[in-house]
Amino acid sequence: MTASMSRMERRFAALKEENRAALVTFVTAGDPDYDNSLNTLLGLPAAGADVIELGMPFTDPMADGAAIQLGSQRALNNGQNMVKTLQMVCELRKQDQDTPLVLMGYYNPVYRYGVDKFLQEAAEAGVDGLIVVDLPPEHDDELCIPAREVGIHFIRLATPTTDARRLPGVLNNTSGFLYYVSSTGVTGAAAPTPEKVQAEVEAIRAHTDIPIGVGFGIRTPEQAARIARFADGVVVGSALVDCIANAESPAAGTEAVLALTRDLAASIRTARQ
């Protein structure tokens, strides 16, 4: 590792040396409210999250299933906005300078906030990457290239329907890691078949050296361990958001998220032994 490497690159390089996959956790900023969401965010690194995806709430999260849709709605109903989301990143950086953080969501809130303003403030806050699911490679000039110019990775999604003709475009300008969507449909869908996903990941690896994280439908430590045997990262989101939705209180929701994170991390750390 070198000093010129980004926080994301350092994290994946270190995990490669440890011969284990990254646990990538997703929670929605402001779900169920700002204070409890911040407590959850601040607790994730110690619970075992190697990379954090922080959802930017949006009224129409079309790629997400019911769990994350409802999480976005809870956050918006309690006043979450882009200013507060970036402030949460600032709060994380006050106590953690090592864990990569990715903002994930849709282009509309970024566009309304102002692309230049958003990128400047995101970089200053300590954001490491962006996943914007509704901006395809054909629109790289809008956000992807400007993000990379300020040192923020732009992480693209590949799916089972991304064929050999489409893949080069997906990989072009992608950095940080590639998010492989293991099943068609929305987030929280049926669990992927590990053998099928492994073959698809290996096919992509023939075209790139970038780390590949696998997500969609991974809910349990056992499922995470199976994916961790071959993926560079395991992404878990809906199961964590459900912990908040099903909790008796917001504080209990935070503890449930962190407890599941600890279990997921433990399973991933031993997956290749």
Residue 107: other Cβ atoms inside 10 A = 17
State phi, psi for 56 to the nearest 5 degrees. Answer: -90, 110
Catalytic-labelled residue, pool 9, 31, 50, 64: 64
Asked about 53 being catalytic, the answer comes back as yes
Contacts of 39 (CB under 8 A, 6+ apart): 251, 254
Beta strands 153-154; 157-158: pairing state: unpaired
Catalytic-labelled residue, pool 9, 31, 50, 53: 53
Asked about 140 being catalytic, the answer comes back as no
Residues 223, 18, 26, CA angle at the centre, nearest 5°?
A: 45
**Residue 202 near residue 181, CB atoms below 8 Å:** no
Amino acid in position 84? K
Contacts of 124 (CB under 8 A, 6+ apart): none
State phi, psi for 17 to the nearest 5 degrees. Answer: -65, -30
Q: Which residues are catalytic?
A: 53, 64
